[in-house]
Amino acid sequence: MPFTIAIDGPAASGKGTLARALADHFRFHHLDTGLLYRAVGALGGDPVAAAENLSPQDLLRPDLRTAEAGQAASRVATDPQVRAALVDFQRRFAVQEPGAVLDGRDIGTVICPDAALKLYVTADDQTRAARRAAELGADPAEMLVQLRERDARDAARATAPLRPAEDAVLLDTTAMRIEDAAAAAIVLVQARLTA
């Protein structure tokens, strides 16, 4: 049976970097589910039609890591029809052998509620804003405003709001280097794999 790791958390908490590190370490498949929503938002037009017709090639667009794509993703993610159209794609991905790591905002609560391990990765607002600003070459104060707007929208949406699963392990990366966060997560995964 495939081993599924669900990683949730707000933007720039380190969840994507951590997910890639775990996938590399355990040789699991990795899906940044935020890219699905970024692609739907970036494609424009009717978001439901875009979600229903999303292809793997759409996830390779070079503009998906921009702040604009992130804001567009947060807007289209509030549409229950968009979310429903993308659920099957994510669930199929999650059951690939030998395992899969999915990161997003509703993986442990909606997409993979039976995941072998659920992590909720977080960091304080200023740290996240500084990280995203450095990544994008943007103003940290502006990033802070955008992240807080996005967090509020993601947490308040009626369908699949951003929140930790009840059985998620909380990992606060505010004062952690990515190597330390990855090492801590590897220990958690290893414990579940050998249990």
Any known ligand binding at 44?
no
- Find, among 170, 164, 132, 137, the residue nearest to 149 by Cα: 132
- Residue 78 marked in a binding site: no
Q: For residue 12, give both structure tokens.
A: 């720039």
13 is in an annotated binding site: yes
118 among annotated binding-site residues: no
Would you say 100 is a known binding-site residue? Answer: no
70 in a known ligand binding site: no
17 is an annotated ligand-binding site residue: yes
Sequence letter at residue 106: D
Picking from 90, 132, 131, the residue whose alpha carbon sits closest to that of residue 109 is 90
Question: Binding residue per annotation — 4?
Answer: no
Question: Does residue 98 have a cis bond before it (omega within 30 degrees)?
Answer: yes
Q: Residue 163, exposed/middle/buried by CB under 10 A (0-12, 13-18, 19+)? A: middle
Confirm or deny that 50 is annotated as ligand binding.
Answer: no
Task: Enumerate the β-bridge partners of residue 29.
Answer: 100
| DSSP state at residue 53 | T
Known binding residues: 9-17
Known binding residues for ATP: 9-17
